[in-house]
Amino acid sequence: MLDFPKYPFVVLTTSVILGILLYIYTQLQIDLCVTIMVALVLIIFKLPKSIKEVLIIIFFLLYGCSMSYYRLKSKEFLEPISIKGVCKSKIGENGYLIKSKIGLIYLSKYHIYSYTNKKHDYKIENSILTFPTVGDSIRLECKLLRTNSSSKQFDRFLLFSDIKYKTKYITYFDILSHNNIPLFKRIQRHFISKIDSLYHDKTVSSIIKAICIGYRETISTKTKDLFTTTGCVHLLAVSGLHVGAIFILISNLLKLIPIEKKYVELMCIPFLWIYTLITGYSPSAIRASIILTFIILGNSYNKDDNKLNILFASAFLTLIVNPLMLCNISFQLSYCAYAGIILFYKPLSNYLEQKIKLNRLIANAISISIAAQILITPLSFYYFKAINISNFIINTLILPLTAPLLYSSVITIVLPIKISFYLSIIPNFLTKLLLYILNLLSNLVYIINIENISILHILFTYASILSIFSWFINPNRTSFKLSCIALITQIIYCCIYNLI
């Protein structure tokens, strides 16, 4: 077996990322055959260890580049075509994701047009009155447009979500059947119905549905705006916080069984993935489950001394399957948050507990909130041109309330309705308390806007953060010099950039 350095998956993931970026920014079309040839050289010839390591890095760089090309490649349809497919999910307020033989399609228009082939002209006849629901089999005739990475931001989102086409000028639309609802979607609908029967307050029930099972369609605009303004909108989407909390709940329940700890953790893996499927297998939930699965396997086989390598292993697997996930903002923010927690949580917690003499629980809550935000903040500036500086304070105060709310809500939807009816008073109270606190904290929100920012600003910022952190945990002359160099370089670049 090839003996890689201490961080093999960090190196391999970086290679794949460089390959993906190479294609995105240069449009370099590397044929898959070249990648296969490098792989054959590795397999057939007996090469020195150092050369093999270099070739493996080159192989994954080429793989990232070539697979990005094939993923983004799509056929152009000049004439209207007939399509049969299944509605997989809803996208936004007015769109649906359709899975068909030619790939994923974004259904975006709801008017029926008449088409004259000679004039290539379209005229609105009427509107679609019956919209599809998840699981419906549909047939439509329309013109398909390819999503383009160089046009609107929404098109880029569709393309990098592997949705290569969007509909235009629908000339025929029909729902063929309603019988293709997946098993886990039916289970989710059962839980939605149960929550509605337990909680008569629509605001409370909509929040519980979002936090527990990832169903956000009934959340009002006012509630969504409150969570967004206070920087707590991530609570309404099933992510690492929710999956991690469910893991702790299940593992504590399984500890009642007299078996070894490592087997308890391994038994949690199927339950994590069942929960992910029930909550709609959103990308954030899938990422969290992959990462936690890797961590559990590492712990079970005594490989838990290198959490960063485990994190990169999960990213490596994700990018190997779908290289375009790298361009997903949610993917980038998620992994930055996880990496921040792995790198900064323990040093910050130790510092607050030992130097500042804070209580351990308070120190842990503050540390995990700050650690998660450190690497997210530069990306937030780059993508959203703004940052909520009170975000970590609000999250530090809110997070301790989230776990009890999630646990009590899950218990009420799992237990029989007669028992849940009496227990529902707890999540009902906690949800109203959460809303009350968020309304109070919304007055503390202070947003900094930065319009003019480039990718080099972000890279220099990350270099400064990592060098300062290196000096923080290992204060010596070398790390201090590196920190100074990174900071001075960033200041010089910012001055030059502003002058230009």
SS3 state at 141:
strand
- Alpha helices for 453-476 (secondary structure H): 455-473
Task: Quote the CA–CA distance of 210 and 235 in Å, as a whole number.
Answer: 8
Task: Quote the CA–CA distance of 205 and 89 in Å, as a whole number.
Answer: 21
- Asked whether the beta carbons of 178 and 135 are under 8 A apart, the reply is yes
Q: In the numeric block, which tokens belong to residue 190?
A: 């059962």
* Mean pLDDT, rounded, for 295-314: 78
Task: Quote the CA–CA distance of 419 and 288 in Å, as a whole number.
Answer: 31
Percentage above 70 pLDDT, the chain: 91
Which pLDDT score, from 0 to 100, does residue 129 have? 54
Which H or E element spans position 121?
A: strand 121-127
Q: How far is CA 450 from CA 171, 387, 454, in A?
A: 45, 8, 11
Q: How far is CA 254 from CA 190, 293, 412, in A?
A: 25, 17, 19
Which H or E element spans position 339?
A: helix 329-354
Q: Which residue has the higher pLDDT, 261 or 201?
A: 201
Q: In the numeric block, which tokens belong to residue 471?
A: 């000096």
Which pLDDT score, from 0 to 100, does residue 382 have? 86
- Phi/psi-derived region of residue 27, left when phi > 0, alpha when psi is between -120 and 50, beta in every other case: left
Whether pLDDT at 174 is above 70: yes
- pLDDT tens digits, residue range 134-171? 888 989 888 888 887 655 677 778 887 888 888 887 87
Mean pLDDT, the chain, integer: 83
- pLDDT tens digits, residue range 344-396? 998 888 888 888 888 888 888 888 888 888 898 888 888 888 778 788 788 88
Least confident among 39-48, 187-196, 266-275: 39-48
Which pLDDT score, from 0 to 100, does residue 3 have? 46
Q: Please, which pLDDT band fits residue 199 given cuts at 50, 70 and 90?
A: very high
Which pLDDT score, from 0 to 100, does residue 130 have? 67
Which pLDDT score, from 0 to 100, does residue 32 have? 66
* Mean pLDDT, rounded, for 104-109: 82
- Rounded to the nearest 5°, which phi and psi values hold at 447? -110, 130
* Mean pLDDT, rounded, for 37-58: 77
Whether pLDDT at 46 is above 80: no
Which H or E element spans position 391?
A: helix 391-414
Least confident among 109-123, 196-210, 448-462: 109-123
CA 13-373-285 angle, to 5 degrees, is 60
Q: Count the residues in the chain.
A: 500
Q: Please, which pLDDT band fits residue 113 given cuts at 50, 70 and 90?
A: low
Task: Quote the CA–CA distance of 379 and 447 in Å, as a whole number.
Answer: 15
Task: Quote the CA–CA distance of 311 and 316 in Å, as a whole number.
Answer: 9
Least confident among 15-19, 86-90, 210-214: 86-90
Task: Quote the CA–CA distance of 81 and 74 in Å, as a whole number.
Answer: 15
Whether pLDDT at 2 is above 50: no
- pLDDT tens digits, residue range 408-463? 999 999 999 989 999 999 999 999 999 999 999 888 888 888 777 888 888 888 98
CA-nearest of 371, 377, 365 to 344 is 371
Q: How many CA atoms lie within 13 A of 99 on its CB side?
A: 10
Amino acid at 319: L
- Alpha helices for 127-239 (secondary structure H): 153-160, 183-198, 202-213, 221-229
User: Where do the DSSP E strands lie in 319-408?
Assistant: 386-388
- Rounded to the nearest 5°, which phi and psi values hold at 2? -65, 130
> pTM of the full predicted structure?
0.84
Whether pLDDT at 314 is above 50: yes
Whether pLDDT at 1 is above 60: no
Whether pLDDT at 79 is above 70: yes
Helix, strand, coil percentages, rounded to 5, for the chain: 65, 15, 25
